[in-house]
């Protein structure tokens, strides 16, 4: 399975890690690693997380962080749609 990031999702991720690193570099590094590891787990377990209100879309909360990865499987591709901070969307 191939993982593809929508440009907006990649921007969300970069912005969230930048904000996290403003607080503490070690926390940002840990958060980045946790998010990336959980996304890789979706390759084998694409039903992780919960169903979204949108058909075919899933939301994967990242344990130990305030982040949620919104994704959709399209055939042999896992599309990362957005990454949110819990409680608020990341402004574009």
**Any bridge partners for residue 26, and if so which?**
none
Which residue range forms the structural domain that includes residue 27?
2-85
Question: pLDDT digit string (tens) for 7-66?
Answer: 999 998 888 877 776 667 777 788 888 999 999 998 888 888 999 999 999 999 998 888
Angle at the Cα of 12 from the Cα atoms of 51 and 59, rounded to 5 degrees: 10
Quick check: is 92 in a domain? no
* Other C-beta atoms lying within 10 Å of the C-beta of residue 23: 9
Quick check: is 91 in a domain? no
Number of domains forming the structure of the chain: 1
Quick check: is 90 in a domain? no
Quick check: is 11 in a domain? yes
| pTM assigned to the model | 0.80
Residue that wins the pLDDT comparison between 5 and 28: 5
CATH number, residue 24: 3.30.2310.20
Quick check: is 53 in a domain? yes
Question: pLDDT digit string (tens) for 68-80?
Answer: 999 999 999 999 9
């Amino acid at each position: 399975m191939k993982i593809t990031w929508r440009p907006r999702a990649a921007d969300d991720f970069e912005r969230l890690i930048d904000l996290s690193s403003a607080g503490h570099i070690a926390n940002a590094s840990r958060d980045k690693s946790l998010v990336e590891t959980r996304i890789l787990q979706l390759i084998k377990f694409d039903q992780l997380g919960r169903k979204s209100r949108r058909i075919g879309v899933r939301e994967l909360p990242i344990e130990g962080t305030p982040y949620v990865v919104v994704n959709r499987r399209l055939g042999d591709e896992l599309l990362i749609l957005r990454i949110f901070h819990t409680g608020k969307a990341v402004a574009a």
